[in-house]
Structure 1
Amino acid sequence: MKGTVIQLAVAACVIGFATSADDQGLRDPPLNYKGYTRKSCPHSQQKNIAMRLLLLRAEMKRITTVEGPPLDAYIVSSDDEHQSGRLIAKYRETVIEKVQIPTITQWLMHEFNGQRARVGADPKLIPAFRWKLWEKQFVNTTISLEPIHENLVDNIWKVGRKPHSTRAASVLEDKYSGKPWQEKIKQVRLEMELASADALVITALDEIAWLFNIRGADLPFTPVLRAYTIITFGSIHLYTPRNKLKRSTEIHLKMDACYQSSCVKWHNYTSFWDDLSTMSQAWSTVWLPTDCGYAQGASAKIFSSIPKEKQLAKASPVILLRAEKNEIEAQGMRNSHIRDAVAMCDFISYMDEQMKYDPDEWDEKQVARVVDEFRLEQNLSEGLSFPTIAGYGPNAALPHYEPPMISRKIGTDSTLVIDSGGQYKDGTTDVTRTLHFGEPTAEQKDAYTRVLIGSIQLSSLTFPDDLRTDQIDVLARELLWKKGEDYMHGTSHGIGHFLSVHEPPISIAYLGGSSDPSDCYNVRLKPGYFLSNEPGYYKAYSFGVRLENIIEVVAADTPKQWGKNFLKFRDVTLVPYEPKLIDVDMLTPDHRRWLNQYNRRIREEVGRELKRNLKVRAFNWMEKKTRVIPERGPVNMQFFLASNSNTSIFKYKHQILFCAFLLHLYTCLASIFYS
């Protein structure tokens, strides 16, 4: 679901004219753009911001810092030196043009309006592709883009800054990774040989974590280690703070007395820049990663450190190698999604029950807190994969909604969209469900059913292995288009294995796509790829619907024809849909058959885990939500929804528990007697 757009206002801001600080001083900031007092910004905070701006503008004038005349503007990016993009919203692919938000360059050209201006930015924090784009857009204007190698924000931010995490990285055992890191290095070197590259520079933290089978805690929600890596045919270099490596990790990477091509040489994190310039003198061709989907590529600073004639600008080879999960990784993804489904069934059944007794206790923040608690209780849980999104009513119509200080109460007359996911040692999850705790309107049911049908149609697809991802988005949107509706985000993104919840190169989105099969947005799917399936419907100021499953690409039963193998999808997310929101009359027999088969898998695979963990309430709720519906003809959904759960095996739960107690007692007594 990720298009490539220039930074949103929250992802990068421009701090303007240096001369304005003298006029403004430390006076109270002006009113907001509507002329009202900024109620959400306390008076003390306004003065703190004014002081920071004053200090920053002083740095913009300091000739020794900016290495030239004073700057007229300075771009503050939310990217880190590795272009991690963690601060970028989950749905960053939202179409900007719809709300008419100007790009950074458009805003600057409008503000300066033909005046000469020096605009500075830290090239370590700006991806190379974006830097080049800005330079191109400033051609034939009066604005020049200047690399400022001292970060001006770092210069003024000396107090109250949160330090880097001190938690050391740990080894991800082969029983989870499925492949030793040495085998991955061999694959990377083979790609380097095919590309005639002497060296490869890797800056993306999730790529480094995957490559070396290590996980860290240096980004929120993504278990990565802050590091750089340089790979040649004779050596492997890892640049990271020494305190980030446990002794077990050093042994894992064979760092002791490393003089061979199959061991890792440690270097201090800050030595990377000097070493890159020095070592590159002996190289003929250096592979520098470019942007590819969610991967933003190396920074402008890294590109400027290598002579242009030596640069091989190309997407990192790790991207395609990592996307194709091996069998151990794939099985781990399936297993983690079963446990995640247990958490979701347990949570939704609990909330469903509590809403009947005390609905006033629930607001959006409470929903997010509680669903997180249920997920963190699962085996092998390592935290969340992104901040949980919970939006009710009008807020559900905002795809990237985050609850403010005072969140909306959950009622019974609209929809609640919950988008959440977890990190497990054996996989990463991402699931969205839309709930309703009252009687849905016909409009809400129509929207939900159209979204569900779109999800079913995509999930049901059997396709040849040369199909591009940009060619299948129509399946998810068809029924919405028939009504003149659409959703302004992509339908799919790749997902990592105990790594990034949004992983390149997979993206299904007709918005802004090209027909070039080499484009990172238009890849050809392979068995072992995992991706999301998440159509949505958003009625502004009213309600929203989104349904998201993770699906796996597997071989189809269709025989090979015309030299092509055929593939299909298999859902690994197994969380019930809400029957009361489904207009069954809109479903074709094929849709109903798919839904029955999906629900049967939930009853078998998730039901087994619910029974094993004695999740009585969740099991009964799950059975009620996954009842079989006739494949043809009218369906009395009131009959299915009104039926109680006494038909489940937990009708006799007390007797079962008592028998289990007697069996346990007998076993204990027998062991004592025979011992």
Structure 2
Amino acid sequence: MKRNTKFVLGGVAGFVVLIACTVAVTLAVSLNGRNRPFSDDSKTSREIVDQIRRLMTDPEAVGSAIHAYLITSVDAHQSEYVAPADKRIYYVSSFSGSAGVVVITAEKALLWTDSRYHEQAEAELDLEVWTLMRSGNSGVETYQEWLAKNLEPNSVVGIDPKLIDSSSYQSLSTYLSNAGHTLKSIEKNLVDEVWDDKEPPHYAEIVVLPYKYSGRRVSEKLEDVRRELAAVGAESHIVVALDNIAWLLNLRGLDIPYNPVFYAYVIITPSELRLYVEQPTRITAEIVSHFTEEGVEVKVFDYSLVKSGLAEVVLENTSGKMLMSGTSQDIFEAVPESRRLIRTSPIVLLKVVKNDVEANGMREANIRDGAAVIQYLSWLDRNIDHMRITELSGARKLGEFREAQDAFRGLSFEAISAVGSNAAMAHYSPNEGTALPITRKEIYLLDSGGQYWDGTTDTTRTVHFGTPTDSEKEAFTRVLKGFISMGTATFPTKAPFSFFDAMARRALWDAGLNYGHGTGHGIGAYLNVHEYPPSIGSSNSEPGMLKNMFTSNEPGFYQEGKFGIRIEDVVQAVPAKILGDFNGVGALQFYHVTMVPLQTSLMKIELLTKQEIDWLNEYHERVFRNTDPVLERLNDADAREWLYEQTRPITYECSSI
């Protein structure tokens, strides 16, 4: 199908993509959390909280009594997204968001969560039991401040040391001590103690990531890590982050839904590579052969033996430092203070700067994934008038289109498929009880992604299949202007991440508008859809943007109770095509990896500059050129015709801003 560049903006409803900075979570309960989300549905949230309160004074559970108990949203590896067995806040409160802190005292039960989840939390919590603390809002105390001010003198605060990172533990301990209180490690997790029907963890198959996708052998990666350890004066390293372990070993799993990782620890010494894994029998003969082919010998131990393994390494290496990065307080305490070196793991930067094979794979995966999203939006546009398609059934249909793509491995997160007022909740995901129909009357926000052998995708588009209001079009266009501003930036190597955040917000700020989430996050190569750095926010600057970093570009706007808008692409930092190089520092720009059209019928064209229009037309031409052949191979003529309409060039009109 050839392009006809003479077309201008027509009357057919176009489509826009908007992406969110965090992974979606299912709104799994009805009003105010009175329906339990787990199999132990005989208990109300109040009953669970009361059971925990009784344990707070039970000597068998806590020793001497505690006056407050903290519950975090992470697992023992400080993972952002966790398996069902680690969703303790969800079990206790029915709040299903991915980030939060709970404090339970004899009189109060409080939940802190950030602005992404304020509306969601209010809907999910039983507000007769819970107090919602809207983190980030003016006048709202942090949980540390609340504890210091509201506990009786000389109170004791308890926490599971496995579920808090050592830096946060030490900081909280000092803060409470200065206020006259004490932080105490409680080995028995009080939530687990009352969780009667808790399902055991699910251990999925561990698979080998072939060299044609990884682009670098384990032996080469290990050599890089050991070199970096020596450079900072470390002899050994305990690796706790699950994506770091999967990347280092060129293995993938699925112990946490949507995240291709597996539960394990790794200890690196000058002469050994130790792997501590749940169910060591999962290290099959194929994986052993993989290690041999990749040039490494790996000693495999049971997961539960990691602390004794740390003790052995410390004893064998009598003077060398062990680099510790992001460990739980429990793991932190297993290494003597004199032997600890607290630094960011060298694996982090090695992993986030993609090699050429990984970078090419990310581009290819996004082309195929873009074709799947195009198929879905085309299918919606053809069918919403005579079929009842809901936020949930639509998301499932999108999954079918993705599953038909080559090298598909699963979804990268649960789709944020949201209509109208639901889209105003930045990380809403539908279920059978909440799913609204998708119609031509309201905005539809779709934030979704896939996992492929060669890459991970994360795409957001906001569309309206009917006639958007003027306010919706202006909000969308201002979000788009910020999206283009960041996406077309030229910048020096190591430019601070906060630079990009300000660029993405400028057009919204000009109208007194804003959004509460970050502007971008790093993305793994067939790994976690959230990978840090990059982390594009108002205060993040280290290590700065580097060549072959992949990040999301996802500004948004949300009008509570009415609609939400977000546009998100995955972008790759590549060498810039300019004459200067910032005095030898090096010049970079972004290449948009995501291949899905932006809906022109949602734009106020008069608000766009000629440069923005030119970029948009060039981007749409590239989307068409890359995805049309995929749709042709799939024999989807309808999607090809829809793509053709959506990528028609638009003409410049006199700008008013």
Q: Cα offset for 1:545?
A: 0.8
Instruction: Identify which range, 81-90 or 272-281, moves more after superposition.
Output: 81-90
d(CA) in 1 for partners of 2:46, 2:586: 62
Instruction: Identify which range, 37-46 or 133-142, moves more after superposition.
Output: 37-46
- 2:557 aligned to which of 523, 530, 537: 537
- 2:273 aligned to which of 231, 236, 258: 236
**Contact conserved, 1:468 with 1:525, CA < 8 A, in 2?**
yes
Aligned to 1:164: 201
* Paired residue type of 2:407: L
d(CA) in 2 for partners of 1:524, 1:111: 40
For residues 162-185 of structure 1, what are the alpha-carbon distances to aligned partners after superposition, in whole Å with 9 as ceiling and x for unaligned? 222242211100001011111000
Q: Cα offset for 1:48?
A: 5.6
For residues 33-79 of structure 1, what are the alpha-carbon distances to aligned partners after superposition, in whole Å with 9 as ceiling and x for unaligned? xxx9975469994646566455544543343443x312233223332
**Contact conserved, 2:21 with 2:552, CA < 8 A, in 1?**
no
Q: Cα offset for 1:154?
A: 3.6
- 1:400 aligned to which of 422, 427, 430: 427
- 1:420 aligned to which of 411, 426, 448: 448
Counterpart secondary structure, 2:299: strand
- 1:619 aligned to which of 640, 645, 649: 640
1:449 to 2:477 alignment: yes
Aligned to 2:321: 286
Aligned to 1:63: 59
**Contact conserved, 2:553 with 2:568, CA < 8 A, in 1?**
yes
Aligned to 1:596: 617
**Contact conserved, 1:391 with 1:401, CA < 8 A, in 2?**
yes
**Contact conserved, 1:215 with 1:223, CA < 8 A, in 2?**
yes
Change in Cα spacing, 1:582 to 1:55, as seen in structure 2 (3 Å) is closer
d(CA) in 2 for partners of 1:135, 1:561: 45
Unaligned regions of 5+ residues in structure 2, if any?
1-18, 83-95, 100-112, 117-134
Aligned to 2:344: 315
Counterpart secondary structure, 1:146: strand
**Contact conserved, 1:349 with 1:617, CA < 8 A, in 2?**
yes
1:472 to 2:463 alignment: no
Aligned to 2:309: 275
d(CA) in 2 for partners of 1:44, 1:235: 44
Aligned to 2:407: 380
d(CA) in 2 for partners of 1:188, 1:390: 40
d(CA) in 1 for partners of 2:205, 2:370: 30
Instruction: Identify which range, 596-605 or 163-172, moves more after superposition.
Output: 163-172
d(CA) in 1 for partners of 2:513, 2:32: 37
Counterpart secondary structure, 1:193: helix
Change in Cα spacing, 1:124 to 1:2, as seen in structure 2 (3 Å) is farther
Change in Cα spacing, 1:349 to 1:3, as seen in structure 2 (3 Å) is closer
Q: Cα offset for 1:287?
A: 3.7
Q: Cα offset for 1:111?
A: 4.6
Change in Cα spacing, 1:51 to 1:332, as seen in structure 2 (3 Å) is same
Aligned to 1:666: none
Q: Cα offset for 1:110?
A: 5.0
- 1:187 aligned to which of 224, 228, 233: 224
- 1:104 aligned to which of 143, 148, 161: 143
Counterpart secondary structure, 1:505: strand
Instruction: Identify which range, 78-87 or 332-341, moves more after superposition.
Output: 78-87
* Paired residue type of 1:421: G
Q: Cα offset for 1:238?
A: 0.4
Aligned to 2:86: none
- 1:82 aligned to which of 77, 82, 85: 77
* Paired residue type of 1:80: D
Counterpart secondary structure, 2:162: coil
- 1:609 aligned to which of 630, 635, 657: 630
* Paired residue type of 1:471: F
Instruction: Identify which range, 278-287 or 191-200, moves more after superposition.
Output: 278-287
- 1:523 aligned to which of 533, 543, 565: 543
Change in Cα spacing, 1:274 to 1:396, as seen in structure 2 (3 Å) is same
Aligned to 1:576: 597
Instruction: Identify which range, 581-590 or 82-91, moves more after superposition.
Output: 82-91
* Paired residue type of 1:209: A
Aligned to 1:409: 437
Counterpart secondary structure, 2:137: helix
**Contact conserved, 1:536 with 1:544, CA < 8 A, in 2?**
yes
Aligned to 1:325: 354
d(CA) in 2 for partners of 1:276, 1:604: 54
* Paired residue type of 1:202: V
Counterpart secondary structure, 1:198: strand
Q: Cα offset for 1:318?
A: 0.7
Q: Cα offset for 1:106?
A: 3.4
**Contact conserved, 1:255 with 1:266, CA < 8 A, in 2?**
no
Instruction: Kindly tell me the number of residue pairs found equivalent between the two proteins.
Output: 583
| TM-score of the superposed pair, with normalisation by structure 1 | 0.81
**Contact conserved, 1:288 with 1:298, CA < 8 A, in 2?**
no
d(CA) in 2 for partners of 1:502, 1:322: 13
Change in Cα spacing, 1:65 to 1:633, as seen in structure 2 (3 Å) is closer
d(CA) in 2 for partners of 1:40, 1:392: 24
Aligned to 1:20: none
**Contact conserved, 2:243 with 2:527, CA < 8 A, in 1?**
yes
Counterpart secondary structure, 1:98: coil
For residues 220-262 of structure 1, what are the alpha-carbon distances to aligned partners after superposition, in whole Å with 9 as ceiling and x for unaligned? 1101111000001111100012122121012222499xxxx94
Q: Cα offset for 1:629?
A: 1.9
d(CA) in 2 for partners of 1:283, 1:51: 51
Change in Cα spacing, 1:38 to 1:149, as seen in structure 2 (3 Å) is closer
Change in Cα spacing, 1:37 to 1:153, as seen in structure 2 (3 Å) is closer
Q: Cα offset for 1:151?
A: 2.8
Unaligned regions of 5+ residues in structure 1, if any?
11-31, 291-296, 515-520, 635-675
**Contact conserved, 2:21 with 2:520, CA < 8 A, in 1?**
no
d(CA) in 2 for partners of 1:526, 1:243: 39
Counterpart secondary structure, 2:435: coil
1:562 to 2:583 alignment: yes
Aligned to 1:196: 233
**Contact conserved, 1:394 with 1:542, CA < 8 A, in 2?**
yes
Report which of the two structures shows the higher radius of gyration computed on alpha carbons: 1
Q: Cα offset for 1:283?
A: 4.1
Aligned to 1:210: 247
Instruction: Identify which range, 397-406 or 412-421, moves more after superposition.
Output: 397-406
Aligned to 1:642: none
Aligned to 2:3: none
For residues 503-555 of structure 1, what are the alpha-carbon distances to aligned partners after superposition, in whole Å with 9 as ceiling and x for unaligned? 01101111xx16xxxxxx43322221111000111112211110000001111
**Contact conserved, 2:254 with 2:260, CA < 8 A, in 1?**
yes
1:550 to 2:570 alignment: yes
d(CA) in 2 for partners of 1:586, 1:283: 66
Aligned to 1:129: 167
Q: Cα offset for 1:372?
A: 2.0
1:509 to 2:509 alignment: no
Q: Cα offset for 1:396?
A: 1.1
Aligned to 1:657: none
Q: Cα offset for 1:155?
A: 4.0
**Contact conserved, 2:605 with 2:652, CA < 8 A, in 1?**
no
d(CA) in 2 for partners of 1:573, 1:485: 26
* Paired residue type of 1:249: I
Q: RMSD between aligned alpha carbons?
A: 2.8
Aligned to 2:68: 73
**Contact conserved, 1:375 with 1:422, CA < 8 A, in 2?**
yes
Counterpart secondary structure, 1:433: strand
Q: Cα offset for 1:412?
A: 2.6
